Structure 1
Amino acid sequence: MNRNVSESQNISKPPFFDGNNYNHWKAKMNIFIQSLDYNLWDLIINGPDLPTSINENAEKVPKPRTRYNDEDRKKVQMNAKAKHIIICATNSNEFNRVYSCVSAKEM
């Protein structure tokens, strides 16, 4: 086996994080997500704009799914796509640390 040849990455799968060399993985994930959809990258950096409504106390609260319109569904779907990419790229230890996060930014 030629030790000078490095492993290649499947361009349709996110780089896998095994718990080591986080900075290397992070740089690869940045490029991978940006290459899929730059809006996903913006969502991860800025956080999602999840649907909200105003309750009787004039407070902003999460909008019930039963009241989502098409734009609301697009917002939550973008967040779900970003979360899916991150989940697919992590080992079971890292998965256990992030799976309960509401947003990709939290992850």
Structure 2
Amino acid sequence: MFEYFCARMQTLDPARLKEGNSLSRPLYFDGTNYAHLKVRMKFYIRAQNRLHWDLTQNGYTPPDMPAKDYTAEETRIELSNDHAMNHLFCSLSENELTRINACQMSKEVWEKLDVHYEDTIQATKTQLRILE
């Protein structure tokens, strides 16, 4: 069985492994085609758990107390933020991770990427208009 698995892994196309075409593997983002990532990641995170996406969009303020004193609901929300962060971190290349590695909330990660890449897209559109 192990030999079969190893042989099967060698025949897989590395480009398809990078892309993340499943519910268990997020889309891989290396800094190109942000518009594509944005749409796909939204639905990937929502499919994992709707609360993960709600926290990514709306954020939350963690309780001002040690985690050991959290209620069951506060623990559930904190864990959902951690899951959302994991979805985002697992989808990013090493270069992209350096951009967001100080973030503590999934909303922060989403907004940092959005600000950086939306600004880049707008700058490119402006440059293209100037050249026309």
- Asked if 1:36 corresponds to 2:48, the answer is yes
Question: What residue in structure 2 maps to residue 66 of structure 1?
Answer: 68
Distance 1:71 1:65 in 2: 12
The alignment's TM-score, normalised by the length of structure 2, stands at 0.63
The residue correspondences of 1:10-49 to structure 2 (distance < 5 A) are: 10-49=22-61
- Asked if 1:50 corresponds to 2:62, the answer is yes
The 8 Å contact of residues 15 and 29 in structure 1, kept in 2 or not, is answered as: yes
Give the aligned length.
91
Q: Larger Rg: 1 or 2? A: 2
Question: What residue in structure 2 maps to residue 83 of structure 1?
Answer: 85
Paired AA for residue 21 in structure 1: N
Q: Structure 2 unaligned runs (5+)? A: 1-15, 110-132
Q: More helix per residue: 1 or 2? A: 2
RMSD of aligned Cα (Å): 1.5
The percentage of counterpart residues that share the same residue type is 32
The 8 Å contact of residues 49 and 75 in structure 1, kept in 2 or not, is answered as: no
SS at match of 1:14: coil
CA shift, 1:68, in A, is 1.7
Distance 1:96 1:86 in 2: 13
Deviating more after overlay: 74-83 vs 93-102: 93-102
Distance 1:80 1:11 in 2: 18
Q: Structure 1 unaligned runs (5+)? A: 1-6, 52-61
1:66-93 Cα shifts (integer Å, max 9, x gaps): 3222222111101100000000000001
1:15-55 Cα shifts (integer Å, max 9, x gaps): 0101101111111101111111111111111002422xxxx
Q: 1 or 2 for the larger relative contact order (CA 8 Å, sep ≥6)?
A: 1
- Asked if 1:100 corresponds to 2:102, the answer is yes
